[in-house]
Amino acid sequence: MEEFHDLVKQLQEQYEPVGIVEESLVQTIATCWWRKARVIRAENGEIRKRLDTLAVDRALRDSDKANLDLVLTEMDLHLFRPENQADQQVSTKDRWSILQRPQSDVRRHHSGLAYLSALLKTAKSEIASNGYISEMVGNKIRNAFCFSDLLFVLTCLDAGPPEAKMEDRPAEKIVDAQTDGKRPAVVAYIDAHLERISTLKRYATEGESLGADAEARSFSLPPADATDKLLRYEAHLDRQLHRAMDQLERLQGQRRGENVPPPLNINLGRRR
C-alpha cells in the first residue's frame, strides 16, 4: 500500500489535479499502472511454475523412458516372431525394427548405460569366478545387444556354461578346455564394450545438460493459454489507462481555457 500511495502522490504532483473528477482520473491512472505491474509479476509466476520443477520433471521423464526401454529389451524375443503375431501384414523386418529401437534408446541416457555397464561387469565376474557366462546373464546380453552388435552377443553366448552344467550335473567343477581358451578374447571384447559405454556416458551426461538448458530457455515465455489471458488483460488495462489520461488532459485543458476539440467518435459497426 505504501508503494501504491507513493505512485499516486507522484502522479498527483505531475498532473496537479483540481476537483474530485480530476483526482478520480489520477486514481484511475495510478490503478491502471499498478495493475500493469501485476501483469509482469503474473508472467514471471507462470514462467517460474515450470522452471522451478524443471529438474525434477526431467529426471522423472528420463527415468520413466529409461525403464520403459529396459523393460522392452528384457521381453522375450520369441514373442515377436511372425508366427506369434496376430497381425500378419507387418513384415518380419518391421517387427525386428520395433525391437531394435529400445536397444538403441537404452544407450542414449545415463541410467540405461549404467545398466549395460553393470550387466557386462557381471559377465566378467562370472568368467573370472566360474570360467563361463551364466545362461541368465547371457540371455540378458542377447536381449540388450543383439541388434547393435550381434557378433558380440554370439561371442558371449559361445562362452556360456558347458553342456554338463546346462544339464545340472553335480560335483566336479566343469572346465572346458576350449571355453577356457576363449576366455581372454571374450573378456577383451567385453572390455571394449565397457570402454564404449564409458564414452557414451560422457556424451549422455553432456546431452542431458544441454537438453535441460534448452528446455529452460523454451520456458522463457508462459504457456500459450496463460500468455493469451495476460495479453488480453494488459490490452484492457492499456485502453482504460489511455482513456483516463485523455479525459484528464481534456478536462485540464478546458479548465485552463484552451480550445479542446470534441473527442473523435468512430463507429466501427456494419452499415445497414
Is the pLDDT confidence value at 183 over 70? yes
Per-residue confidence (pLDDT) for residue 174, from 0 to 100: 47
Residue 213 banded pLDDT, cuts 50, 70, 90:
confident
Is the pLDDT confidence value at 78 over 60? no
Supply 229's cell numbers.
489471458
Is the pLDDT confidence value at 232 over 70? yes
Tens digits of residue pLDDT in 64-75: 777 777 666 766
Tens digits of residue pLDDT in 104-132: 888 888 888 999 999 999 999 999 998 89
Cα-only R_g, the chain: 36
Tens digits of residue pLDDT in 132-160: 999 999 989 988 888 888 889 899 988 88
| CA separation for the pair 48, 263 (Å, rounded) | 43
Is the pLDDT confidence value at 9 over 50? yes
| CA separation for the pair 260, 266 (Å, rounded) | 18
Name the residue with higher pLDDT: 148 or 6. Answer: 6
Please answer whether residues 161 and 228 qualify as being in contact, where contact means their C-beta atoms are separated by less than 8 angstroms.
no
* The residue to which cell 571355453 is assigned: 179
Where does the chain have alpha helices with state H? Answer: 2-15, 19-51, 54-74, 92-106, 110-130, 135-145, 150-158, 163-166, 177-218, 224-255
Q: Does the predicted model carry a pTM greater than 0.75?
A: no
